[in-house]
Amino acid sequence: MDPVAAKYIGAGIAAIGMAGAAMGVGNIFGSFLSGALRNPAAAQGQFGNLIFGFAVTEALGIFSFLIALLLLFAV
């Protein structure tokens, strides 16, 4: 296999992680909104968990983007 083609395939596979992060963020906020509408009194107590989950999910998406860029331009 051509090394350039392998590099592009690897970067494309790494970019799938960004789609996973987008779905994860949507799932996190959708679940929080559903729970907050069912029990508004407990919503404020779960806001810290919401922000932590968002940060971790976005960090994984940024990490996969970094891997894709490293495969494209550094290798």
Domain ranges (residues) in the chain: 9-73
pLDDT in the model for residue 55: 94
Between 75 and 52, whose confidence is greater?
A: 52
Kindly write down the DSSP assignment for every residue of 13-69, as one continuous string: HHHHHHHHHHHHHHHHHHHHHHHHHH-HHHHGGGHHHHHHHHHHHHHHHHHHHHHHH
Confidence of residue 7 (pLDDT cuts 50, 70, 90): very high
Residue for token pair 């009194």: 41
Average pLDDT over residues 11-29: 91
Encoding tokens for residue 49? 């968990």
- For the stretch 23-70, pLDDT in tens is 999 999 999 999 999 999 999 999 999 999 999 999 999 999 999 999
Average pLDDT over residues 12-26: 90
- Regarding the domain delimited by 9-73, which CATH topology (the fold level of the hierarchy) does it fall under? F1FO ATP Synthase (1.20.20)
The whole-angstrom separation of Cα 16 and Cα 26 is 16
